[in-house]
Amino acid sequence: MAATLLRIHPDNPPQNRLLQAVEVLRNGGVIIYPTDTVYGLGCDIHNAKAVEKLCRIKGIHPDKANLSFICADLSHISDYAHGITTPVYKVLKKALPGPFTFIFEASAKAPRYGGVKRKTVGIRVPDNQICVSLVRELGNPIVSTSIHDDDTLIEYSTDPDLIYEKYRSLVDLVIDGGFGNNVASTVVDCTNEDFDIIRQGAGDIEQYL
């Protein structure tokens, strides 16, 4: 069955449409949705079957997958990340919401996918009303990975209509929140408090240090 294409206004997302998307997540569905950087493939953090489906779509094994956790704010981060010191927390507070993925040591509460305990987790709080509202309505983070493009010149897919055409038979819902960006988040390793940049993307962490 083809996925639903759901158009949601990015600045003022209607509650009824958000709840439609949240219902899909609660039922173990995989969705495509906009962030403040590129479009993401996501599902409920607590649904292992949905995570396995997401990994199959992406062509990766669950225990090898570098999946991010999309949070609505900083309150969920300590549930899944371990060893966040006060200086690190102060930087997060300044930089988020924003185009960053922060890598931390995984806490004991971090979900296991593929039966493997994760050593690290990537945490995101995007500056995007749609995905932050989805997480709030769902009540817990969304597991996420970026949508890549097959085009050699364009690394990430930006047009929601083209994304829908490509993934309509693979996912349960595609949210059209307008054109996405073509630059992913900046990935910052915080496991040793050094803020090491693993991938330079849309965010400049230096201005928050």
Residue 19 burial (C-beta neighbours within 10 Å; 0-12, 13-18, 19+): middle
Q: Is residue 97 in some structural domain?
A: yes
For residue 98, pLDDT beyond 60: yes
Q: What is the mean pLDDT of the chain?
A: 92
Q: Give residue-wise pLDDT tens across range 43-96.
A: 999 999 999 999 999 988 877 778 899 999 998 888 899 889 999 999 999 999
Q: Is residue 150 in some structural domain?
A: yes
Q: Is residue 207 in some structural domain?
A: no
Residue 44: give the domain boundaries: 4-199
- Helix (H) or strand (E) run with residue 162 in it: helix 160-167
Q: Any idea what the CATH number is for the domain that residue 40 is in? A: 3.90.870.10
Global pTM? 0.94
For residue 30, pLDDT beyond 90: yes
Q: Is residue 204 in some structural domain?
A: no
Domain count, the chain: 1
**Overall residue count recorded for the chain in this entry:** 209
65's CB contacts (< 8 A; 6+ apart) are 55, 58, 113, 114, 145
Q: Is residue 205 in some structural domain?
A: no
Q: Is residue 179 in some structural domain?
A: yes
